[in-house]
Structure 1
């Protein structure tokens, strides 16, 4: 089961970019917008089985500020 850690404060519909933690706390899951820009994807050089998502900075900043 995932635990919601932080969401986009500008979200109006509840299904926006979000930071989640796995049940054991060993991993994070990031929900965001699929990165489709060819130049950015080329820079990432993703291996098979990986993908990239874009999240608003506020999602991560809100979480890490709360941890500090």
Structure 2
């Protein structure tokens, strides 16, 4: 399995800053193919093709990823 590089989101802070209550929050990762991103988020009940998933991720994490990519 390849190592992913987080560009937005990621480990939550300690105490009250950890909104996820588990230390690992929704994250956007760069992929070796610059046209692709990987997303870690909350499961959504939605039927998808095998090997695919739909996840929820906070809007602010996506904006942070867009800034990291130079899109904003």
* TM-score of the two chains, using structure 1 as the length reference: 0.67
* TM-score of the two chains, using structure 2 as the length reference: 0.64
- Unpaired runs of at least 5, structure 1: none
User: In the alignment, which residue of structure 2 is the partner of 1:64?
Assistant: 66
- Unpaired runs of at least 5, structure 2: none
Distance 1:48 1:3 in 2: 25
Count of aligned positions: 61
Q: Which structure carries more helix by proportion?
A: 1
Q: Which structure carries more strand by proportion?
A: 2
Bigger RCO of structures 1 and 2 (CA < 8 A, at least 6 apart): 1
RMSD: 2.5
Instruction: Give runs of aligned pairs for residues 1-20 of structure 1, distance below 5 A.
Output: 1-7=3-9, 12=18, 14-20=23-29
